[in-house]
Structure 1
Amino acid sequence: MKKCPNCGEKVKGRSDKIFCTPYCKSSYHYQKDIEKEDNLFRKIDKQLKLNRRLLKNYNKSGKSVVRKAALLKDGFDPKYFSNYWKNQKGDVYLFCYEYGFLEKKEGDKVKYVLVQWQEYMN
């Protein structure tokens, strides 16, 4: 008889059954997932992809302006970006892959200028 890899109990039932109970199966895979070293990397990648998707959805024309609060409400996190570009005026655009943003203040409102990466930005 096989032993459950999670608790060590004997596994009863089908010949291809691996775990003794659904609880043991769930617990085993949860522990394996926690032990993975790349959890931080997956979290960062997930946020970068979310940021990119939001920037793409809000920027249909190649360059647009959107309220910062609207992006933040949808889950955007400006601390996560993949690269940056500094223009001749000294403004620093932060990019999530090919979609970028620049924070601008207009009176008491904070907005983002959204752009798409262009060849001249190299």
Structure 2
Amino acid sequence: MGNLCKDCHAPLRGRSDKKFCNDGCRSNYHNQHNTEKLKDIGPINKILKANLKLLNQLNPYSKRIIPKQLLLDAGVNLKYHTHLYKQKDGKVLKFCYHQGYMELEDEKIQLIKMKYSDF
């Protein structure tokens, strides 16, 4: 018996190393498998997008200091960020894409918006 399509399991004709009977089956197979692999990422991406939207609203320009409670009341989830940046003085900024924040004394937050040219 010959090889079968990995998606629809129909018999394959042509090259001996062929895995799919057509582009539709190839695309469907990979979409299903990638969706399964990435299902845990969806909720995190949703939080990151929401954080970015809120940070863009709170800091439309380049820098701003706000009370930490304002950030929390807006709904920013501080557990999720895309990357960290450690300054020479040891202070750490958390970033959600191009919007960053750093905790200061007295329950204040420094918001920092990076320009894409700064990356």
**TM bracket (short chain):** 0.5 to 0.7
TM-score by length of 1: 0.61
The CA deviation at 1:105 is 1.8
The aligned counterpart of 2:85 is: 85
- 2:110 is equivalent to residue 113 of structure 1: yes
CA distance in 1 between counterparts of 2:46 and 2:68 reads 20
CA distance in 2 between counterparts of 1:41 and 1:119 reads 24
CA distance in 1 between counterparts of 2:99 and 2:80 reads 12
Say if 1:85 and 1:121, in contact at 8 Å, map to a contact too. Answer: no
The aligned amino acid for 1:99 is Q
Gaps of 5+ in 2: 1-35
Superposition CA RMSD, Å? 2.2
The aligned counterpart of 1:73 is: 73
Size of the alignment, in residue pairs?
A: 85
CA distance in 2 between counterparts of 1:40 and 1:117 reads 28
CA distance in 1 between counterparts of 2:90 and 2:114 reads 17
TM-score by length of 2: 0.62
Gaps of 5+ in 1: 1-35
